[in-house]
Structure 1
């Protein structure tokens, strides 16, 4: 039974293999171009505030752009997470990547948490405003 022309005027019998392959390639390229990028699911990384030794645990955290760090104060001693170089007691103990504005937590009592979403790559050095002189410092590396 011979192939018949459809009403659209398209004759499937005249479709050559290379035309078909070109159509498939163009379609695949269009799908690849317009496809939404797949990103890794953002994470929440936990940092605890040590009371006995006045430390951030862990002291250094490595994350990706789009991840959040959440600090938790499990003890009875108050803390303030300080990412503001102007409020640092020692010059250089707090530093931020270029273009990042300063930020801080409020005073954190037992059980309080503070979270920050990191959107700029770089190295962030921070302190506890109350216990900086006791060496309570931390580092966030954002890749």
Structure 2
């Protein structure tokens, strides 16, 4: 008498179907977890400072919560990125979502970079402190 019991084809098919369905359910649950924004890989979005026209390139950036924006100054003109409404030359040119603390870069010389991690949804309007009157403004939209 064999030690292992023989199963009918029906029992084997039923067992495989059950295992298959369990695997599908586990896979779907794992996929759903990793598609959630909290598990999405953060990005670094690049913004350059145009020297000839005193602009941020691109002027408007749309990102997700948890992404970082990195500004680079490729030119010889110095800049300070200003996210502080109290330091804006023109009222309303700098604005932040409610609850966000103002911040600035240090003075940026040629080749310098400044990065900021955005953790609050909303629209951020910012300027270059030196060139705000020349229209050097930008917008970050965080979704």
**TM-score for both structures, normalised by structure 2:** 0.76
The Cα shift of 1:39 comes to: 1.6
Mapped partners of 1:38, 1:6: distance in 2: 49
The Cα shift of 1:50 comes to: 0.3
Mapped partners of 1:24, 1:31: distance in 2: 10
| Unpaired segments ≥5 residues, structure 1 | none
Mapped partners of 2:95, 2:122: distance in 1: 10
Secondary structure, aligned partner of 1:12: helix
Verify the 8 A CA contact 1:4 1:11 in the aligned structure 2: no
| Unpaired segments ≥5 residues, structure 2 | none
The Cα shift of 1:89 comes to: 0.1
The Cα shift of 1:34 comes to: 13
The Cα shift of 1:40 comes to: 1.3
Structure 1 stretches of 4+ moved >6 Å: 1-38
Question: In the alignment, which residue of structure 2 is the partner of 1:88?
Answer: 88
Larger CA deviation: 30-39 vs 61-70: 30-39
Q: Give CA deviations for 1:86-136 in whole Å, capped at 9, x if unaligned.
A: 000000000000000000000000000000000000000000000000000
Larger CA deviation: 125-134 vs 38-47: 38-47
Verify the 8 A CA contact 2:33 2:39 in the aligned structure 1: no
Mapped partners of 1:102, 1:36: distance in 2: 29
Verify the 8 A CA contact 2:81 2:105 in the aligned structure 1: yes
How many residues align? The count is: 143
Mapped partners of 2:85, 2:8: distance in 1: 71
The Cα shift of 1:37 comes to: 8.1
**Larger helix percent:** 2
